[in-house]
Every structure is written in C-alpha cells, then in structure tokens.
Amino acid sequence: MRRAPLLPSPAVPLPGSSLHKVCKFLVLFCVIHLSVTLVYYLSGGERNIFQYFTENQQIQNRDLANSTPSTVQIANTSKELLDCPEDPPFLVGPLRVEFSISVDLEEVRRTNPSVREGGRYTPEDCKALQKVALIIPFRNRDEHLKYWLYYLHPILQRQQLDYGVYVINQDGESTFNRAKLLNIGYMEALKEYDYNCFVFSDVDLIPMDDRNIYKCFSQPRHLSVSMDKFGFGLPYNQYFGGVSALSKNQFERINGFPNDYWGWGGEDDDIYNRIVSRGMSISRPDAITGKCRMIRHNRDTKNEPNPKRFDLIGKTRLTMNSDGLNSLTYKVIKTEKYPLYTKITVDVGPSPS
C-alpha cells in the first residue's frame, strides 16, 4: 500500500499548545488596546492637528484662565505674585494665520475677557517681566486692525506681558509719517503708564509663531524677520522694518526715531543706522520663530515713496542728534478708549512740499 505523501503542516499552532495560548493573549491585548484608544479619541481626549491649529489662537485664553500649571508661580496664600517665568508656559508655537475669515470685534472682546478697556492686560498669576506698549502707526486701515487685534491679543496674553495697545492715527491729508507717529506713540503711552519696552508694529503684520515674544532684549530687537512677502527671509541684512522692539533706554539712546521721513520708505533704515551708530546691534529670532504674514493691500494714497529717502539715510549720523524725540512736535486731536485698544488721533503737522 502506498502512503499518501506528507504535506508540510500549515503554520497554525495546534489548539492547546503554548504557542496557541501566547497568540490568543496577543490578539486579546491588541483588541483591548485598540478599543481604549478609540474610546479616548472619540471622547475628545486627542486633538487632531487641524483642531490644534484652529483652537490655539482664540480658545487659549479660556484655557489660560482656567488652568494653573506648575510653572505658574503663586507664592503663598497672601497672593504675593512672583515673577513670571522667562519661558511662558502657555505658548503653543506655530499658528495658522489667514485673512479670509471675517472678524467681529465684539466676539474678539468676548473671547478675551481679561483685556481691560483701552487694550490693557496684566497677567493675574504672576508679575510680568516687562511692561510693553504696542505702538501701531495708522490711517484708514480698520479692516487690518481687526485682524491684528484678533490674532495678537491671545498671543500677547500667552506671552504673559503687562501690555497696552496704542493705535496712533494720523489726522488730515498730509503725507503719512510712520516714524513720527511711532515717536508720538512712545510719548503718549508713557503718559499713561511706566512702560519699559516699546514694540512698534505695522498694522498689517501678524506673527505666525507665539514663541516670537513681543518684548525687549539686551539689544534692539527686530521681530518680523521672516515675512511671507519676502519669501520668509530678510530682504537685506540691515532690514529693520515691520515690527521692532526697543527698551526705553535703547529708544532714548538713539534720540527716538526720525521725524523727517514723509511718505514710504527709508525711516526704518535710518533707525537701523541710529542703533548701529550708538554701538548697539540688532537681536533677532530665528527664521522659523520669526515667520509672519502680511495682509496684502494696495499702496495707500498720500504714502508714495519718499524721493528724499536715499539722501536722508546717508546723513543719519549728522541728523540724529537734532531730529528725533528732542525735536518732536504734534497735537493730540482726540483720545478714544475702545475695549481692545486706545486710539490717539494726532496732527503731525504739514508735510514739506
């Protein structure tokens, strides 16, 4: 009788064998693990990346108000505040910034309940390391200002700054004078509070990372170092436009900013020259942290390129001692306190013909 040929046995462990028991245990373990993960995910314990980006801009304030991480320092029951930490614990890093959404300022006010009238904020759980006045030169850009307030208020609170927002609005029809408006913002903010740091920001520039802290450093700080408009880099090494921060002492050392740049361009290069000529250097965040977006727009009327700018930039060292804070003249027309900012309308005087 011929025997049937032996077939190779299939790779399935025999029931009852120890290998079979191990396999059963592993399958059971995987099923339990998957079920727990699924339940956790569906109950919202895990955020997907899209939710994370969306939420981290506006809802953070509520998180911030309700939580007390160990890094927040509360000294004792008498509530004497300790200094806020050097690295603010609520920062979230990269932010999604877009300008297709419509912004309702009433909603921004509602979602930033800790911001006081005039756009003032002071951390409740720790003593801010710096008192920062944010100065925005302005004329007819209400739509841009809405985005600025919507994005910046939550960021500045997460950065644990004691801050105030000042929109310096140029009255009348004379040619725009950005640097003079910044000087005026400095003077007016100081009348209100003893700020020790001044952040000068264009109204159309929004940071894309909240680790780019809007505060002052041991050297004058350039914050908008990686703008989408310039392909996320500097247009040239000496560029100091967009958003910058100077301490009170740094600002005074350079006699403030020039008052004589009417129209677009050059004033930021003059400020750079002032800083360098006083022996200071520029501090900057890295190109990732310093990413920011600019709201696209047409050039404003009465802000045409200043034909005198090249000539003026060449003479900064000669002019800076007599043109600046010590020669500043202006008239305040109106001061308005809004829930999210203080608007100061000023007459900067006539532009030269």
CA–CA gap between residue 148 and residue 200 (Å, rounded): 13
Nearest approach in angstroms of CB 35 to ligand BGC is 57
Residue closer to ligand BGC by CB (options 112, 244) is 244
Options 57-65, 77-85, 141-149, 262-270: segment touching ligand BGC (CB under 6 A): 262-270
| 258 touches ligand BGC by CB under 6 A | no
* Cβ-contact 312, 125 below 8 angstroms: no
Cα separation, 258 vs 261, in Å, equals 7
By the 8 A CB rule, do 259 and 327 touch?
A: yes
By CB under 6 A, residue 265 contacts ligand BGC: yes
Q: Which of 209, 267, 269, 323 is catalytic?
A: 267
Element (H, E) at 319: helix 316-319
User: What is the rounded CA–CA span in Å between residue 289 and residue 347?
Assistant: 37
> Does the footprint of ligand BGC cover residue 268 (CB under 6 A)?
yes
Binding mask 293-312 for ligand BGC (x = CB under 6 A): ----------------x---
204 binding ligand BGC? (CB under 6 A):
no
Query: Please, which residue, 95 or 179, has the CB nearer to ligand BGC?
Result: 179
Stretch touching ligand BGC by CB under 6 A, among 42-50, 135-143, 195-203, 266-274 = 266-274
Q: Centre a 10 Å sphere on the Cβ of residue 175 and count the other Cβ atoms it contains.
A: 19
DSSP 127: B
Name which position in 137, 164, 256, 266 contacts ligand BGC (CB under 6 A).
266
Q: Is 260 a catalytic residue?
A: no
Asked if 241 interacts with ligand BGC (CB under 6 A), we say: yes
Per rule CB under 6 A, count of chain residues that contact ligand BGC? 7
| CB atoms near residue 22 (< 10 Å) | 11
Q: Which of 235, 307, 314, 350 binds ligand BGC (CB under 6 A)?
A: 235
- Alpha-carbon gap, residue 332 to 127, rounded angstroms: 32
- Looking at residue 132, its amino acid is V
Q: In what order do the strands lie in the sheet with 291-294?
A: 205-207, 291-294, 226-227
> Which residues does 351 contact at the CB level (< 8 Å), separation at least 6?
174, 175, 177, 262, 263
270 binds ligand BGC (CB under 6 A): no
Residue 137 interacts with ligand BGC (CB under 6 A)? Answer: no
Active site residue 262: no
The catalytic residue positions are 202, 204, 264, 267-268, 294, 297, 299
| Site of interaction with ligand BGC (CB under 6 A) | 235, 241, 265-266, 268-269, 309
